[in-house]
Amino acid sequence: MANRSDTDTKAGEEAPIRGSGDPLVAASGVFKSYRLGQSRVEAIRDVTLEIARGEFVALQGPSGSGKTTLLNLLGLLDRADQGRVSFAGKDTEALSEDDRSDLRRDRFGFVFQMFNLIAVLSAEENISYPMALAGATAPERRARTQELLSAVGLADKAAVRPDLLSGGQRQRVAIARALANEPAVIFADEPTANLDSKTADDILDLMRSMNESRGVAFLFATHDPRVVSRARRVISLHDGQIESDRSR
């Protein structure tokens, strides 16, 4: 598949606080609340941050700190109550649901705690499916899928369904699927939570390698110290607000 360039950042926008180049994903004054019984809980309160191209960032915090909510807002899986979420300088809040879906499909990748693979499809078919949705030709899908299976060390598992794969192998398929449409950024929600220590380390090494070799930004929501230790930037959340933001 041909590489696609991101939308150009608008002239006159401020330079990013972190990372190199223009901000890829940004939130400005974002709020998000949910109804719990008769009351409303503020999950995210006045969060402003920028993620640059090629960053490897961990959102950490205790349960209820807002890290998954923030990840979902930045990944356009949910909408903010107030504030602005942008991608490559474009305000995503103004996009229709169809346009947001297209942006997620074409420029974002997602890796989930429970893998979220399609059970009736083989590893190869799971990886190929997002490319089919994006309109890639059959030869393009085959070539890209073979490349990704090799990259994640599963070239011999192409025809195997997820239920016959180990947890680590399923997460490798999920990573390959996330990379299928050559995304600019991958959002990973607790990707090591259901893996043993050795497998988690291997998966994190693979993600770091993909970040370095392909220039894909990674943003993790995690409480796993192994993820935090590998991140080049750690954003700590507490009660829906950024408590600290440090680079290494």
Give the tens place of pLDDT for each residue, 35-90. 888 888 999 999 999 999 999 999 999 999 999 999 999 999 999 999 999 999 99
Q: For residue 6, what pLDDT is reported?
A: 46
Percent pLDDT > 90 in the chain is 85
The phi, psi pair for 223, rounded to 5°, reads -120, 10
**pTM of the predicted protein model:** 0.88
| DSSP-derived 3-state class of residue 77 | coil
Beta-bridge mates of residue 217:
185
| DSSP-derived 3-state class of residue 81 | coil
The pLDDT-based confidence of 218 (bands split at 50, 70, 90) is very high
Q: Quick one: tokens of 167?
A: 């947890």
Encode pLDDT of 91-133 as tens digits.
Answer: 998 899 999 999 999 999 999 989 999 999 999 999 999 999 9
Left if phi > 0, otherwise alpha if psi is -120 to 50, otherwise beta: which for 194?
A: alpha
Q: Which domains does the chain have, with CATH numbers?
A: 54-72+94-247 (3.40.50.300)
**Which helix H or strand E contains 207, and what residues bound it?**
helix 197-214
Q: For residue 37, what pLDDT is reported?
A: 85
Alpha-carbon torsion (65, 227, 183, 18), positive or negative:
positive
- CA–CA distance, 73 with 211 (Å, rounded to integer): 22
Q: For residue 36, what pLDDT is reported?
A: 84
Taking a C-beta distance cutoff of 8 angstroms, is the pair 29, 81 a contact?
no
